[in-house]
């Protein structure tokens, strides 16, 4: 099934078929798994954990450090800065609308938001905790967290790694940005887009961009959670762009699977709010959206777009910036009279 999805996308990208774009508005609510139903208490706990730097070994890095909900859901860096100033090798993807991804991370190694939430905390370059046991011990030592976990998950030994990840995922599922100009347009308000944006929308489809960047989140077809949708990048070789940006240095999915056939496969990222998430691509080497469109057209579609076509597509992509729900910062529970032994 996965191979067919990848092959279909590749054929369409190569121009073997012409597709009519299926324009869909973004739902105002994200899907949630039956095993982790959302509640206000769970979301509030998840927000606290998401913003708490004490989940890192140095007490300086939180989930929000790299996926800033005060901005476009990432950090506008080519590589995110973790504990002890270490810089990661990939650009942080946005957390906004990540609930509409069927897999998480650029290489799709996490099948859910719950699984994703556990990764950075114990990654030595990111948040640097030695184990989730250490995280749980720290949370239990902070007065206020056991009560917050009990409110979200009930009585008993509920301060656990799984429940922490479930809470963070529940919070992340509230990070939806509907009602963009594009959403209003496809919902019937034909005055919502400018003439140039409509032209860019049509160019986006006619060029072939929507063959992979489809669906309500512009990240591919709506698939069951855990079902990957990958695309090879670059699809077409180009010595100039490779020398300038070094896209092929990262082997993508193959870094996880160690399989040759998975080399340079990446999750198709959302284009929602893409105007706010520069720099672009997995390595964050492209600084402007105009250049990103030019690169994508050449490397994925083998097409040279005119300056006018690029300007029109960029205008359309700006219309994908949605309405951001207000984020009220929580008061994190304190640790009276002492501190942890941070790295």
**Tens digit of pLDDT for each residue in 262-278?**
999 999 999 999 999 99
The residue assigned the tokens 């160690």 is: 258
Burial of 172 (0-12, 13-18, 19+ CB in 10 A): buried
pTM above 0.85, yes or no: yes
Structure tokens at 266: 């990446």
Say yes or no to pLDDT of 131 above 70.
yes
Residue from 44, 74, 114, 126 carrying the catalytic annotation: 126
Interhelix angle 307-318/195-207, rounded to 10 degrees, is 110
Percent pLDDT > 70 in the chain is 94
List Cβ neighbours of 221 (8 Å cut-off, separation of 6 or more): 5, 214, 215, 229
Residue 80 phi/psi, 5° resolution? -75, 150
- Give me the chain's average pLDDT, please: 94
pLDDT digits (tens, 9 = 90+) for 68-126: 999 999 999 999 999 999 999 999 999 999 999 999 999 999 999 999 999 999 999 99
* Sign of the CA dihedral with 42 first, then 80, 236, and 302 last: positive
Q: Which of 76, 45, 335 is nearest to 166 (CA)?
A: 45
Report yes or no: 288 and 299 within 8 Å, Cβ to Cβ. no
**Helix-, strand-, coil-residue percentages of the chain, each rounded to 5:** 40, 5, 55
What pLDDT is recorded for position 21? 76
Q: Is 255 a catalytic residue?
A: no
In residues, how long is the chain? 343
What pLDDT is recorded for position 9? 54
What pLDDT is recorded for position 172? 98
What pLDDT is recorded for position 23? 97
Distance CA 42, CA 36 (A): 10
pLDDT digits (tens, 9 = 90+) for 186-238: 999 999 999 999 999 999 999 999 999 999 999 999 999 999 999 999 999 99
Structure tokens at 118: 């556990």
Residue 20: pLDDT band with limits 50, 70, 90: low
Report CA-CA distances (Å) from 164 to 12, 68, 117, 145, 149: 41, 19, 8, 10, 8
């Amino acid at each position: 099934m996965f191979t067919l999805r990848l092959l279909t996308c590749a054929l369409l990208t190569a121009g073997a078929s012409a597709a009519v774009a299926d324009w869909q508005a973004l739902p105002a609510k994200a899907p949630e798994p039956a095993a982790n139903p959302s509640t206000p208490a769970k979301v509030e706990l998840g927000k606290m954990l998401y913003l708490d730097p004490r989940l890192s070994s140095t007490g300086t890095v939180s989930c929000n450090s790299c996926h800033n909900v005060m901005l476009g859901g990432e950090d506008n860096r080519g590589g995110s800065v973790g504990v002890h100033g270490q810089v990661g090798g990939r650009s942080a993807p946005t957390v906004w609308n990540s609930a509409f991804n069927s897999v998480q991370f650029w290489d799709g190694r996490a099948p859910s938001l719950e699984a994703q939430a556990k990764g950075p905390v114990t990654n030595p370059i990111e948040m640097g905790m030695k184990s989730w046991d250490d995280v749980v011990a720290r949370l239990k030592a902070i007065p206020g967290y056991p009560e917050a976990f009990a409110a979200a998950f009930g009585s008993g030994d509920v301060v656990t790694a799984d429940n922490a990840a479930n809470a963070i995922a529940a919070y992340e599922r509230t990070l939806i940005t509907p009602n963009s100009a594009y959403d209003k347009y496809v919902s019937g308000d034909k005055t919502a887009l400018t003439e140039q944006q409509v032209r860019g929308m049509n160019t986006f489809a006619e060029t072939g961009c929507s063959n992979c960047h489809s669906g309500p989140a512009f990240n591919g077809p709506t698939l069951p959670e855990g079902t990957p949708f990958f695309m090879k990048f670059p699809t077409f070789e180009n010595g100039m762009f490779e020398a300038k940006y070094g896209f092929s240095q990262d082997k993508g999915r193959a870094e996880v699977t160690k399989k040759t056939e998975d080399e340079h496969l990446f999750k198709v990222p959302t284009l929602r709010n893409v105007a706010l998430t520069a720099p672009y691509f997995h390595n964050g080497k492209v600084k402007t959206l105009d250049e990103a469109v030019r690169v994508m057209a050449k490397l994925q579609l083998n097409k040279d777009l005119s300056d006018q076509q690029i300007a029109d597509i960029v205008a359309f992509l700006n219309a994908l910036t949605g309405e951001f729900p207000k984020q009220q910062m929580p008061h994190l529970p304190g640790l009276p009279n002492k501190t942890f032994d941070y790295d």
